[in-house]
Amino acid sequence: MQKFNIQAYQDLVRENSPITQENLFILLGKIQDTFGYVPKESVRDLAVKSGLAEARIYGALTSYKDFKFQMEDQD
């Protein structure tokens, strides 16, 4: 995992474009695998790029307990 980096995020989005409802979970999983969480700022960006409502993306994230909105403390 790495600290959130806008360039790494943009690379993930570009590699997984176009963003559709069908591949949204895959991309969200890749974002979380890379950064350890799904940054809230990415939700708005994904909504714009996909045409999906932010509420729909938040709904996807909150419907699965494994998605996190913040980095867990690393001991």
Mean pLDDT for all residues in the chain: 89
Residue 53 is predicted with a pLDDT of: 96
What would the mean pLDDT of 19-35 be, rounded to a whole number? Answer: 93
Tokens of 64: 């699965």
**Location of structure tokens 């709904």:** 59
Q: Which residues contact 49 (CB under 8 A, 6 or more apart)?
A: 13, 17, 19
Tokens of 41: 């700022």
Sign of CA dihedral 8, 20, 42, 59: negative
Residue 73 is predicted with a pLDDT of: 54
Neighbours of 35 (CB within 10 A): 20
